[in-house]
Structure 1
Amino acid sequence: MDANVQFRGELPRYTSKVDKQTPEYAENYQAMTQLVEELRTRLETEGTYQGREEHLRRHLKRGQLLARERVELLLDPDSPFLELMPLAGWGQDGMTVGGSVVVGIGLVCGVECMVTAHVPTLKGGASNEIGTLKGLRAQAIARENRLPCITLIQTAGADLGQQSRVFHPGGGMFRGLAIASKMGIPTCSIVFGSSTAGGAYAPGMSDYVIMVKGQAQVFLGGPPLVKMATGEVTDAEQLGGADMHSRVSGVADQLAADELDAIRKAREFLLGIVQANIRKPFDAREVICRIVDGSRFTEFKPLYGVNIVCCWAYIHGILVGILANNNVIFNAEANKATQFIQLCNLRNAPLIYLQNITGFMVGRQYEEAGIIKAGARFINAVSNSTVPAITVVTGAAYGAGNYAMSGRAYAPRFLWSYPNSRCSVMGADQLAGVMEQVARDSALKAGRAVDEEATAARKAALHSIVEAESDVYYTSSRLLDDGIIDPRDTRAILGLCLSVVYGVEVKGGNLYGVSRM
């Protein structure tokens, strides 16, 4: 019997202590419902936006499918689709929400695949800064979890208005394809329309390329550029059409009669390679019991370092270690978490981090007790852990607490956010207050009177900036998570993520780096 699935019946069941009859519960339920509805509205309108109506009609009139229709037809019937970073670019000037590209994980012929689709009805599918960063993140996820990659291509190349922000990081996309090839991770490109300049290298570096006859065109420079550079006069079909690349250049491996035929051929290819208010505290156990199998989990050191809950549980039958915050981190919490991460590596158990953390405790007493050393050991363990980590920000994610609980900089396999969550160096009230105190101390040392009106104005302006930049839509727009999720979907999403990470061997490692004892 597999060590990860035995003795399941011995885990104790947790009985929820939430009283649903209280006014506070009703108030919080209503507030979270409003936040979730706002998220769903944004996802359904802005997150799935594919362009103006006239552009959609023109595209469909040419007999072409929309990007999301292509994805739907590629995936198995009733396959889940874990869309990643759908609100990337939200609220940023000059950016299309989602970066003119749809990215997610779904089943193709029963195999979990990373699927990327350009949205040609948004600026011709041109790559902007956000779309490029989103593509790089998708490649990283695919590499870490050995997911086959299928790209549905129709792009005008780089958005020239953002060329400096696209060109420099964009080369990493081609490097990623080369690395995937070396690692033996299958890649497939289906070219539905024009794929120009840098966009030509994506099919050029893929394992398998399908082009749609009469529609697909792949070239480094289109007819106008060729004429300007060389004086040669040619048309797009002669220069880089699907028929030419299938018969002459050999860039295409398959010539598809139409888009449906192209999607069918891609599936055949894969079939052949199957190998509310964050200031109000809540008990993390109330979240844990709702996402684990049977509400059963076994706590590690339940009476020590009580502000962090560490436990083992099963999610969809997979053994995991869970770390969840109940409040600020003291020395005991840091020591407990460090040991727990070591044990999870010994048991080859993936780690789930549920972040709701204001940071590490400050003050003379705690500095003397070595809070820096304890925190360093905690972060050392997070950094050197080799089992997959999945992070969900359920509330606050402030300061070094965000680092210790496997924030974005610590490369968890996936990172999700609840719609009430916030992430920054500290809360807006605290940061603005700190800066006000610094200004007052500076004036006192210089012997100057404090300009109360100017100080209040600066404090209000800073508070407003921090409040805006810690907002979950601001951070998700900048790819600091892989998407904002409805809390009710947490268990299902974690189950799919765990299935994905088991595409490669899950094995713990040696956590010992240099740390101050």
Structure 2
Amino acid sequence: MPRTVDTGPQHPAPSPPETRTAVDTASPEYLANREAALARLAELDAEHAKAIGGGGPKYVDRHRGRGKLLARERIELLIDPDTPFLELSPLAAWGSDYPVGASMVTGIGVIEGTECLITANDPTVRGGASNPWTLKKALRANEIAFANRLPVVSLVESGGADLPSQKEIFIPGGALFRDLTRLSAAGIPTVAVVFGNSTAGGAYIPGMSDHVVMVRERSKVFLGGPPLVKMATGEESDDESLGGAQMHARTSGLADYFAVDEPDALRTARRIVARLGWRKQGPAPRQNPVPPRCAEEELLGLVPGDLRTPFDPREVIARVVDGSVFDEFKPLYGPSLATGWAELHGYPVGILANAQGVLFSAESQKAAQFIQLANQRDIPLLFLHNTTGYMVGREYEQGGIIKHGAMMINAVANSRVPHISVLLGASYGAGHYGMCGRAFEPRFLFAWPSAKSAVMGPAQLAGVLSIVARQSAAAQGRPYDEEADAGLRAMVEQQIESESLPMFLSGRLYDDGVIDPRDTRTVLGLCLSAIHSAPVEGARGGFGVFRM
């Protein structure tokens, strides 16, 4: 298990109140929701299979024929037996011209009892070359490592940048070098295990890591390979003398450890992590947490296929948190946003969950107060999204919805406790921001297959464009083409619908993964454990001006 700090004697868990649930698992509505969820999960599994398949059978077989392990096999040998690996951004590059997964595996795993951020090039995809989505995925992984103080272990086998796309990689790619040096400067260890090529710019990955392991007759680390050296200097050389593991172990000193094969290299990496003496800086969880009293399997049928149909997020909470216990804060005020306290795998959390979709002034003010309380008590926040945004209309504008919505967004933006977001259903408009969307830097953000996110719903957006076009035609005194309008609305709705779906958004790394609803408690538990590798401290003031 990951190491935790000793925080002294713990108070006993509060006596749980009776758990009430209104879910009828035999109702036609529930069964229809469940079937729709299973269909979406089947589609998701098919896309995940593409990432796992790497470059396809031909290149997988070629790689194995060289006596090499696949990226995920290397990770499996690296992490502790029978411990989970939380893979991040598995659908990166989905919908682009590049393979799903972006030729890299990233995630969090436990090595010798220490949670680490692990990255592994997939050499079956164009030799592990980095494309623009590989870069985005690697940078997101480094961001997670830095925010949560997770040691970084890089399993390297890459020929560097995918040259045809260099214009999109070279300039921003320098951030990878920056990140490695900043991680080291912050006292966060970095380990590079080189299994094959690590050339050109990729040579700086081991060059800037704290600890470097190379494999005999396999590792090749050089700024320029023999053809480039020949062209640039006229010098004749070979891979081994130019950048082989033995040369770097004996002559250049770049290799700190010399491994005889891949399993030996992974054993060495495990010993390096074991010797770090790494300790968590956040408070330890309550021991022996009680699982939910409501079945996690039932999460499949809670979200309607039509997101305009509301659902009660408390039913989700009851199937995720310890003992299904949720102590609600201000339950009668601003009822379309549920706020309250719970524990999850023994870690305290404050939860904000959209109950009826729309955020009004009362909900916004309640959220701001609740976020301040969580910061006062150093409690992480969990945001469960199902919102169409802040309420519009004359009455609400006159009632101050802008300043109250801004108050909530201000509180989220300036909160210092860790945030986790999960998109359950809709996440539209500024409501996405107020519920800590990607731009507000939650430590982790995941989506259910039922989730959708955009400026607004497809029908609303198409309707707005139609109204604007109709008004423009009237202002110019020309007749309005109703047939063309219908076609435009249908086209816009289809476009926005496709661009709102979780796989589309996940492919662009707007989340850290699309997860099976039944895995929500496990995923959140792994995230909370990783978060507590760093200190958990809230803001003490510093929220800026709240407009009253």
TM over 0.5: yes
Q: Judging changes above 3 Å, is the alpha-carbon distance between structure 1 residues 48 and 7 closer, same or farther for their aligned structure 2 residues?
A: same
Q: Secondary structure at the match of 1:18?
A: coil
Distance 1:8 1:133 in 2: 42
1:465, CA displacement in angstroms?
Answer: 1.4
Give the Cα separation in 1 of the matches to 2:261 and 2:26: 58
1:512 — aligned with what?
543
CA distance in 2, matches of 1:42, 1:135: 20
Tell whether the 8 Å contact from 1:381 to 1:511 is kept in structure 2 after alignment.
no
Shift of 1:82: 0.2
Q: Which residue, 492, 503, 514 being the options, matches 1:462?
A: 492
Provide the rounded CA distance (Å) in 2 between the counterparts of 1:449 and 1:244.
79
Q: How does 1:32-111 map to 2 (within 5 A)?
A: 32-43=37-48, 45-93=49-97, 95-111=98-114
* Structure 1 residue 7: Cα displacement: 5.5
Structure 1 counterpart of 2:194: 191
Tell me which amino acid in the other structure corresponds to 1:283: D
CA distance in 2, matches of 1:248, 1:227: 21
User: Residues of 2 paired with 1:387 and 1:77: CA distance?
Assistant: 32
Structure 2 equivalent of residue 286 of structure 1 = 315
1:119 to 122, 125, 136: 122
Question: Contact (CA 8 Å) 2:16, 2:323: kept in 1 or not?
Answer: no
- CA gap of 1:18–1:34, structure 2 versus 1, over 3 A, is same
* Identity, % of aligned positions: 54
Give yes or no for contact 1:358–1:399 (8 Å, CA) kept in 2. Answer: yes
Q: 1:18 aligned to 23, 44, 49, which one?
A: 23
Higher deviation after alignment, 418-427 or 220-229: 220-229
**Aligned with 1:325 (options 347, 354, 365):** 354
Matches of 1:511 and 1:15 in 2, distance apart?
39
* Distance in 2 separating the partners of 1:460 and 1:233: 64
Task: Provide, for residues 237-284 of structure 1, a one-character-per-residue CA deviation record: whole Å limited to 9, x for no partner.
Answer: 111111111111111111111111111111111110022522221101
| Secondary structure, aligned partner of 2:389 | coil
> Counterparts in 2 of 1:148-187, with a 5 A limit?
148-187=151-190
Residues 72-118 of structure 1, C-alpha deviations (whole Å, 9 max, x = no match): 0001101100000001111212x111110000101000100001000
Alignment of 1:353-432 (within 5 A): 353-432=383-462
Confirm or deny: 8 A CA contact 2:51 2:99 kept in the other structure: no
Instruction: Work out the number of aligned pairs and report it.
Output: 515
- TM-score computed with the length of structure 1 as normaliser: 0.97
- More off after superposition, 205-214 vs 279-288: 279-288
Q: Which amino acid aligns with 2:65?
A: K
SS in 2 for 1:233: coil
**Equivalent residues of 1:12, 1:298 under 8 A apart:** no
Shift of 1:168: 1.8
Deviations 1:377-412 (A, max 9, x none): 100000010000000000001000000000000000
Q: Measure the CA separation in 2 of the matches of 1:293 and 1:407.
A: 25
Q: Judging changes above 3 Å, is the alpha-carbon distance between structure 1 residues 5 and 97 closer, same or farther for their aligned structure 2 residues?
A: farther
Residue 3 of structure 1, CA deviation: 10
Which residue of the other structure, out of 205, 215, 239, is the alignment partner of 2:208? 205
* CA shift digits 1:424-465 (9 cap, x unpaired): 101111001100100001111111211223222222222221
SS at match of 1:193: strand
Is contact 1:5-1:317 (8 Å) kept? Answer: no
**In the aligned structure 2, how far is the partner of 1:498 from the partner of 1:5?**
18
Change beyond 3 A, Cα 1:411–1:4: farther
Is the counterpart of residue 313 in structure 1 residue 337 in structure 2?
A: no
Moved over 6 A (4+): 1-4
Q: Secondary structure at the match of 2:93?
A: coil
Q: Could you tell me how far apart the structure 2 residues matched to 1:290 and 1:270 are?
A: 35
2:501 aligned to 456, 471, 493, which one? 471
**Contact 1:4/1:318 (<8 A) preserved:** no
Structure 1 residue 54: Cα displacement: 2.1
Query: 1:218 maps to which residue?
Result: 221
Which residue of 2 is the match for residue 257 of structure 1? 260
Tell me if structure 2 keeps the 8 A contact 1:4–1:319. no
Looking at structure 2, the residues matched to 3 and 369 of structure 1 have their Cα atoms a distance apart, in angstroms, of 48
Alignment partner for residue 232 of structure 1, among 212, 228, 235? 235
Residue pair 1:354, 1:392 contacting (<8 A) in 2 also: yes
Contact kept, 8 Å, 1:350 with 1:389, in 2: the verdict is yes
Alpha carbons 2:47, 2:100 under 8 Å: kept? no
Corresponding letter in the other structure for 2:67 = G
The unaligned stretches of length 5 or more in structure 2 are 1-5, 279-303
- 1:133 maps to a residue whose letter is K
| 1:125-153 Cα shifts (integer Å, max 9, x gaps) | 00011110000000000000000000000
